[in-house]
Structure 1
Amino acid sequence: MTWFTLIMIVMVVSVIACLLFTTRYLFSGRSLRRVRIVMLLFDAIGMGWFIGRAIIYHLISGPSLIIETVIVGFMTQLICTAFVLVAVIVRFFWRRMMAVPVDESRRRLLRHAAVYPAVAAGLSIYGGFWEREATVERNFTIPVKGLGAGEGYRLAQISDVHLGSFFSVAELDSLLRRIAAQKPDMLTVTGDLFDDVTQNEEAARILDRYADAFPDGIWFAFGNHEHFRGIDTIRKYLAKTRINVLINESRKVPGKNLYMLGVDYPMDRPHFEAQRKNYMQQAIENLPENVPSILLAHHPEYIDDGAAHSIALTLTGHTHGSQFGILGQPLFPVFKYTRGLVKLGDSYGYVHSGNGSWFPFRLGCPPEIAYFTLTNA
């Protein structure tokens, strides 16, 4: 059983258990029973189908509106449950501290009980239908030793597009057009773009059409979902394009004092760390010493490898920034590096929040385009 499978099962079971507990603070009598039955049926059918597809096929496909509605319904329950649990705990301690008399006939029901599901539904609709498509732009300045005449070099990063039911090739074209309008010197893609066998070939052609929009081209590193969707076939599609695909190797950017490295995603889960380090060793094998360099990787643990080998900037993705956040911080930091900029010594790493997702919901973690301007250290 993978961590993903375990997390999904634990989350759904926990939500259902909490749901059975918290609904008694919002409803009573027959209304309580009816609400519980409806929600349990919804979760068993809707989320059961969703999770089953995700676990077995690493894929969510089907009518996007139906899937999005299922997710919004589930998230409404999750958010409402969290609100009610907080309210019940606060009320408990308030009553104890203030010695508030308790009406035994109504002690369970919260005041203004209808507000909780209403607010939860509003946030869920916002996260499911608005924020997950509200791409933001973030800008960073990265000091690089030995950059020389490359002062002011600017590159863009996208990651985790996840072509499929929730991100079409038309949307990819729109995203690339938006980035090209900003005129960065280079576009980098850190994996999990090709995630739909029916759209992957067309996506490669669209990427190729934008190669000339960036003076130093488009540079690409694979993610785990490229492996899920047939890595050999995707490599054949990319071989017909002008995309610079980096597979455990380094290359000099033509005419620039800058080297690009790229590593594959370690798919051997039991030996993940050993395979990761092996890929990194292959990537730096022909890299000259003390040259400005940028590493493209999908998994954020490569940030440590980049710092260990004095790579100026390591760009990663994979985590989607957890897709949930509070005040710019990930709500579920289950990875060593989950979102944003990391500084290790003189090296920097970045974990991209992603542009798409297979789970169509974001709250406090919008999709992004990241821009990095290199300056002399």
Structure 2
Amino acid sequence: MAFEPYRVQVTTYRLSPQGWPPGLRLRIALLTDFHAHPRCMGEAEIAAVVDRTNALAPDLTVLLGDYGSQSAGPVPLETIAGILRNLTAPKGVYAIQGNHDWGDDREARRRGHGPTRTERALRASGIPFIENTAVQLDLPVPLWLAGLESEDTPRAQEPFEWFRLDTLTRTLRDVPVGEPVILLAHEPDVFALDLDPRVVLTLSGHTHGGQIRILGWSPWIPSRYGLRYAYGHVVERGRDLVISAGLGSHFVAGRPLRLGAPPEIVIVDLERQDAPTS
């Protein structure tokens, strides 16, 4: 409670996803789960994260949701968005929402649709918002960035698999056949499904790495699949997923708590590594 929640690390992954465009190098910074509160991940801490992220020189920075804290006296969403507008990346800064951005907005839930207060704050700060949208990045070769809405939106339906795959199909409707996509999904569970083959990399948060992790074990993971998608780099069926432990903390007994799962800025360096010819 006194040390680890404030010890923001930089975690770097070097990946060569299946289907990655040859000759393309791309560095992505991933920031998620701020849960911004003056007692943990306050204004000064967020500003420091922004400065450290910019210093890492990402080509692209993505924000994966859960910006505000659920504890009393949080940093206002408008203040968070105002600090995040200082992020810089030559290929853009893009944002989606998390479950708490919906779940904590009583007015949006009453209406049954957005925009949420989070969405309004991000857009007002000039941060592109790509919920259920795909955008083509400004690169020498075709590459798309797509963002999925949270599972906690009012329109979420069961069964889970049908809802998520239907949402993804609509999100990728403008992406040409065969062109690769990086998918932003706050919750990692979508990775277990039979994803569209155009999705070459999925980036997620939500789990906080368990927030308490002892020798790889966590007492509770907010996922249908338990430890399977708790944290880190996961490869299944030749596909890549990166799950960040996030930046902020849920409060326990009125205090932030992390153990074995320090907050982190995630860097993903992407480049195709073809097997050498004999």
* Fold shared per TM-score above 0.5: yes
Correspondence for 1:247:
131
Contact 1:300 1:351 in 2 (8 A): yes
Deviation at 1:305, TM superposition (A): 4.2
1:288 to 136, 160, 176: 176
Give the Cα separation in 2 of the matches to 1:308 and 1:186.
23
1:143 paired to 2:16 = yes
Correspondence for 1:341:
233
Deviations 1:20-65 (A, max 9, x none): xxxxxxxxxxxxxxxxxxxxxxxxxxxxxxxxxxxxxxxxxxxxxx
Higher share in helix: 1
- What secondary structure sits across from 1:341 in the alignment? strand
Please show how residues 71-86 of structure 1 align to structure 2 within 5 Å. Answer: none
Deviations 1:210-266 (A, max 9, x none): 2xx211121111101111343522222222233221111211012343210100112
Give the Cα separation in 2 of the matches to 1:198 and 1:136.
22
Give the Cα separation in 1 of the matches to 2:163 and 2:102.
15
- The alignment's TM-score, normalised by the length of structure 1, stands at 0.61
- With over 3 angstroms needed to count, the CA separation of the structure-2 counterparts of 1:330 and 1:261, relative to structure 1, is farther
Correspondence for 1:261:
146
Contact 1:265 1:299 in 2 (8 A): yes
Contact 2:165 2:195 in 1 (8 A): no
Amino acid at match of 1:219: Y
- What secondary structure sits across from 2:23 in the alignment? helix
- With over 3 angstroms needed to count, the CA separation of the structure-2 counterparts of 1:278 and 1:289, relative to structure 1, is same
- What secondary structure sits across from 2:158 in the alignment? helix
Correspondence for 2:103:
228
Deviations 1:160-219 (A, max 9, x none): 111124221221111110111111111111111134775111211211122xx2111211
Correspondence for 2:92:
217
Contact 2:34 2:248 in 1 (8 A): yes
Correspondence for 2:4:
131
* Greater RCO, 1 or 2 (C-alpha within 8 Å, sep 6+): 2
Q: Runs of 5+ in structure 1 lacking a partner?
A: 1-127
Contact 1:306 1:314 in 2 (8 A): no
Give the Cα separation in 1 of the matches to 2:163 and 2:194.
15
- The alignment's TM-score, normalised by the length of structure 2, stands at 0.81
1:351 to 231, 240, 243: 243
Deviation at 1:150, TM superposition (A): 1.6
Q: How many residues end up aligned between the 2 structures? A: 246
Contact 1:224 1:265 in 2 (8 A): yes
Deviation at 1:146, TM superposition (A): 4.4
% identical equivalent positions? 26
Amino acid at match of 2:145: M
Give the Cα separation in 1 of the matches to 2:178 and 2:14.
20
Bigger CA drift: 164-173 or 195-204? 195-204
Deviations 1:114-133 (A, max 9, x none): xxxxxxxxxxxxxx111111
Amino acid at match of 2:8: T
Deviations 1:61-116 (A, max 9, x none): xxxxxxxxxxxxxxxxxxxxxxxxxxxxxxxxxxxxxxxxxxxxxxxxxxxxxxxx
Give the Cα separation in 2 of the matches to 1:288 and 1:333.
40
Correspondence for 1:70:
none
Amino acid at match of 2:164: R
Instruction: Kindly report the root-mean-square deviation, in angstroms, between the aligned alpha carbons of the 2 structures.
Output: 2.1
- What secondary structure sits across from 2:199 in the alignment? coil
Deviation at 1:154, TM superposition (A): 0.6
- With over 3 angstroms needed to count, the CA separation of the structure-2 counterparts of 1:349 and 1:307, relative to structure 1, is farther
Deviation at 1:279, TM superposition (A): 1.9
**Who wins on radius of gyration, i.e. which is larger?**
1
1:373 to 259, 269, 275: 269
